[in-house]
């Protein structure tokens, strides 16, 4: 059987035209929808008709433009269905809460996005009485040992943030299935690079704010899974997206939809440049974390389970040894050469740099950071594709020399 290709799947799913025959879809900005027949309205409230029959009700429930984007992202992931939200965090919170009630338990990877860590470590136990155990997700035995009778969700990131460990989605999916729990994967770091649903995950969430949006101008999220699961998020009585209301703006859905056709080209170029930087930094003797390097502990796993034509992702980390040198490097790269910008986030066309221990992972206590392998001098680089690769590498080498990171070189 031919291997799943996300871009081919998206091409097959894109069949919308604009209202007047435009080559891209119209924006349905309306917050409410008319009914031709008064009898149909109560039937929609009883769930007898829905958007698949063209029955739209109110913009916090389904919206046609957001439905199209949801369908396109589902196609990219090879999922049955998908819907979009106002942020990645609301996609994660919505998906997790849909699976759990007060008293239930979640097993989560320790190496997750700082906001997700705070949601699971602080917010859900405090506000919802949901208990969470953090595990080293690369250790299937530890994951299995943490699953108990109250466990409802197993949560991991495909490429962990910022240590870029690759989750063994197939192995974790088998564990989740054996225990009858929902396996939720955050695929924000690796759209197209890994297709978790194809490997057995139940639900895939994204922060569309990153690579999918690609221009660092829109905060947005998505949830993909079975038609039943995505439908449950919009249930009028128990749907976490319907009732908590993190509704995406249809204009944002339209804008992101127009960027998905070139996501494949962008991911390939992010990946090509990340691979070049990782190899060249490694050759200079610096500790580099990038799953595209043979020395990375999960290199073979990614080769085996990823869609290798889309590369190994656009993010790598380099360890400058100390926080001071990490800060010096980032300041030089931004203020002296305009190589990139000191900012959190990733997936932008320009390069973004941050020091995870002092920023995106600072919600984690120091000992948790150490356990997750987040060293103080680690710089996370989301490599952009502006400028030429030669020009960018020269800027990097100059910066490294200036901050004294190459002193051991003759
Ligand atoms: C940014 C990010 C999120 C949160 O997304 P928002 O769109 O900022 O709410 C979640 N997970 C990962 C891996 C992220 O990088």
| Residues of the chain below pLDDT 50 | 409-410
Ligand 1 mean position, distance from CA 205 (Å): 10
Q: What is the pLDDT of residue 46?
A: 85
Residue nearest to atom 6 of ligand 1 (CA): 88
Best residue among 89, 354, 363 to mutate for probing ligand 1's pocket (most ligand atoms within 8 Å of CB) is 89
CA 112 – ligand 1 centroid, Å: 10
Domains and CATH numbers, the chain: 6-261 (3.40.640.10), 262-402 (3.90.1150.10)
- CA 410 to ligand 1 center in whole angstroms: 42
pLDDT in tens, 374-386: 899 999 999 999 9
Identify the pLDDT of residue 341: 98
**Cβ(194)–Cβ(224) under 8 Å?**
no
Please give the pLDDT value at position 164: 95
Distance 114 CA to ligand 1 centre (A): 9
pLDDT computed for residue 377 by the predictor:
94
Of the residues 114, 115, 380, which should be mutated to test ligand 1's pocket, given the most ligand atoms within 8 Å of the CB? 115
Q: What is the pTM of this model?
A: 0.96
Looking at residue 410, its pLDDT comes to 47
């Amino acid at each position: 059987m031919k291997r799943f290709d996300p871009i081919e799947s998206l091409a097959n799913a894109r069949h919308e035209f604009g209202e007047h025959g435009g080559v891209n879809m119209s924006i349905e900005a309306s917050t409410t929808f008319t009914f031709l027949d008064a009898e149909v309205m109560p039937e929609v409230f009883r769930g007898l008709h829905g958007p698949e029959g063209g029955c739209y009700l109110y913009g916090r429930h389904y919206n046609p433009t957001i439905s199209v984007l949801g369908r396109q992202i589902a196609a990219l992931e090879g999922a049955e269905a998908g819907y979009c939200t106002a942020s990645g965090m609301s996609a994660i919170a919505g998906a997790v809460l849909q699976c759990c009630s007060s008293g239930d338990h979640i097993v989560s990877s320790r190496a997750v996005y700082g906001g997700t860590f705070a949601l699971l470590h602080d917010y859900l136990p405090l506000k919802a009485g949901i208990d969470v155990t953090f595990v080293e997700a690369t250790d299937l035995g530890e994951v299995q040992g943490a699953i108990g009778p109250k466990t409802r969700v197993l949560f991991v990131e495909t490429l962990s943030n910022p240590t870029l460990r690759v989750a063994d989605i197939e192995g974790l999916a088998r564990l989740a299935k054996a225990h009858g729990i929902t396996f939720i994967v955050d695929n924000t770091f690796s759209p197209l690079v890994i297709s978790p649903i194809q490997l057995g995950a139940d639900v895939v969430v994204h922060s569309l704010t990153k690579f999918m949006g690609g221009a660092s101008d829109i905060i947005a999220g998505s949830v993909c899974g079975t038609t039943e699961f995505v439908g449950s998020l919009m249930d009028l009585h128990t749907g976490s997206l319907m009732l908590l209301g993190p509704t995406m703006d249809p204009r944002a859905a339209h804008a992101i939809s127009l960027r998905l056709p070139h996501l494949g080209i962008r991911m390939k170029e992010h990946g090509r440049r990340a691979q070049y930087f990782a190899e060249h930094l490694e050759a200079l003797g610096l500790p580099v974390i990038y799953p595209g390097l043979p020395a990375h502990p999960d290199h073979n796993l990614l080769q085996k389970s990823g869609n290798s034509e889309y590369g190994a992702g656009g993010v790598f980390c380099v360890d400058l040894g100390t926080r001071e040198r990490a800060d010096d490097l980032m300041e030089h790269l931004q203020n002296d050469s305009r190589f990139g910008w000191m900012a959190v986030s990733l997936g932008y066309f320009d390069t973004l740099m941050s020091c995870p221990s002092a920023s995106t992972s600072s919600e984690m206590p120091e000992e948790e950071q150490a356990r997750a392998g987040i060293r103080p001098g680690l710089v996370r680089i989301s490599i952009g594709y502006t400028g030429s690769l030669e020009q960018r590498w020269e800027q990097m080498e100059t910066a490294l020399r200036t901050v004294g990171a190459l002193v051991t070189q003759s």
